[in-house]
Structure 1
């Protein structure tokens, strides 16, 4: 398995009240199969596979007060050094870097507005075995209110090259890894400004996207499985997307490529 450059999304997991219910929902929605972890370091962690390749995981919430969410993890060769940079740039380290057996080292952090993201220093498990293909992760973006606070944070912490989309003004900014020319062709994620169309109480957060072959069909299937839609299918320059809330409250997006 190939490694991931620092700052590149390398894994996602959902923190759920009921992992077995999550396996039923996502197994039917994305045709994922699951393998339960018996590792004492990981706890009960259901690894999801698409076509036999690792794509995500479902984990039980350890505390009922924790949000039901999809988390994105960014690769790093040194989680401890990255945690120090996060603090130095005004972020918070929510959980300190912790080794997970031979698999890698994990931590959770928050940006200056409170959006939570993960860090993963890969060991025997670098991260995704499938991405950018149907039924796997393809994109993430952070929803923020203060670009003057958030953009410098991520660009200093990960060394991203940032580029505002020409047709979106400063509403949307893409981020490209170190060594890549900034722009949509090399972007691995981005920042979207929270505007008046969003609820005032909505906190800063990351949205995880999964690639699908038919956005409308997946949206309809999510409803049949007990989920709901936060945003009905609509067209964007990069395809057709919808924002889905699963049957336990975790939010994610699906994106159909324009060619599809």
Structure 2
């Protein structure tokens, strides 16, 4: 559906950092049918907006330095980025960059939560973020993998006012009655050098077909496709793109 309002505290943007932007646009365009338009202003270094049916769906940006990991970064909306940065730092976050102006488009900051997961804050100006969500080939969910599930959920509840739906294995988070993500504990099977991290999940019409397409485009399926064992649980797959960034795809099992 087209986005008419982004609620403060909710996910508002997903941005891929990639070493090869043209290769990334080819992969995601082939997988989701996204269009891609690079910003002509040289100060933005080729920042490229992905679009779905003419609406902003996500973005890809070149790596800022060789040490930067190839990864998806989630941004959360705020109406006062300075106050939210201060609240996040008071709650144990580390502020790495910003808040900084991004032309007339808005203000941005990069942080790590207390468990080490990077995330960004966005205060909208001319650009609000997602123009379409919750339909096939658009953003639909966020997933946090962390080594301290309780600390993570407490942090985001404190800073953003998120509601937490308690669950021993996979607590879900959202605002009011609107769920938009979940939190998964990283166990001993995950190498210790892998940090806590957020990943976007995109809605697809057919998870198995999307996983097969991703493999055909040079990606790898690292989990699934599998039905989530919970009431009304979706079918999901976790995919690693050819440059190493991880994201998920999902579809409801009832076709809704």
Q: TM-score range by the shorter chain?
A: over 0.9
Counterpart-to-counterpart distance in 2, 1:157 and 1:203:
21
Q: Which residue does 1:259 correspond to in 2?
A: 254
Runs of 4+ in 1 over 4 A off after TM superposition: none
Q: Secondary structure at the match of 1:188?
A: strand
**Structure 1 unaligned regions, length at least 5:** none
How many pairs does the alignment contain? 250
Counterpart-to-counterpart distance in 2, 1:199 and 1:235:
25
**From 38, 41, 53, the counterpart of 1:39:** 41
Q: Secondary structure at the match of 2:171?
A: strand
User: Contact (CA 8 Å) 1:91, 1:111: kept in 2 or not?
Assistant: yes
Q: Which residue does 1:175 correspond to in 2?
A: 173
Q: CA RMSD in A?
A: 1.4
Q: Per-residue displacement from partner, 1:194-247 (whole Å, max 9, x unpaired)?
A: 124433432211121000001001101111111111113000142111010011
Q: TM-score, normalised by structure 1?
A: 0.92
Q: Which residue does 2:63 correspond to in 1?
A: 61
Q: Which residue does 1:246 correspond to in 2?
A: 241
Counterpart-to-counterpart distance in 2, 1:147 and 1:70:
20
User: Contact (CA 8 Å) 1:162, 1:173: kept in 2 or not?
Assistant: yes
Q: Which residue does 2:218 correspond to in 1?
A: 226
How far off is 1:98 after superposition? Answer: 0.9
Q: Which residue does 1:71 correspond to in 2?
A: 73
How far off is 1:150 after superposition? Answer: 1.7
Q: Secondary structure at the match of 1:230?
A: strand
How far off is 1:87 after superposition? Answer: 0.6
How far off is 1:144 after superposition? Answer: 1.3
**From 88, 104, 107, the counterpart of 1:105:** 107
Q: Secondary structure at the match of 1:25?
A: helix
Q: Which moved more, 1:10-19 or 1:35-44?
A: 35-44
Counterpart-to-counterpart distance in 2, 1:23 and 1:217:
19
Q: Secondary structure at the match of 1:217?
A: helix
User: Contact (CA 8 Å) 1:211, 1:254: kept in 2 or not?
Assistant: yes
User: Contact (CA 8 Å) 1:41, 1:100: kept in 2 or not?
Assistant: no
Q: Per-residue displacement from partner, 1:148-168 (whole Å, max 9, x unpaired)?
A: 322221111111121113xxx
How far off is 1:39 after superposition? Answer: 2.8
Q: TM-score, normalised by structure 2?
A: 0.93
User: Contact (CA 8 Å) 1:174, 1:189: kept in 2 or not?
Assistant: yes
How far off is 1:40 after superposition? Answer: 4.4
Q: Secondary structure at the match of 2:89?
A: helix
1:130 is aligned to 2:153: no
Q: Which residue does 2:148 correspond to in 1?
A: 146
Q: Secondary structure at the match of 2:151?
A: helix
Q: Secondary structure at the match of 1:232?
A: strand
Counterpart-to-counterpart distance in 2, 1:205 and 1:47:
22
Counterpart-to-counterpart distance in 1, 2:82 and 2:41:
23
Q: Secondary structure at the match of 2:179?
A: coil
How far off is 1:110 after superposition? Answer: 0.7
**Structure 2 unaligned regions, length at least 5:** none
How far off is 1:82 after superposition? Answer: 0.6
Counterpart-to-counterpart distance in 1, 2:41 and 2:75:
20
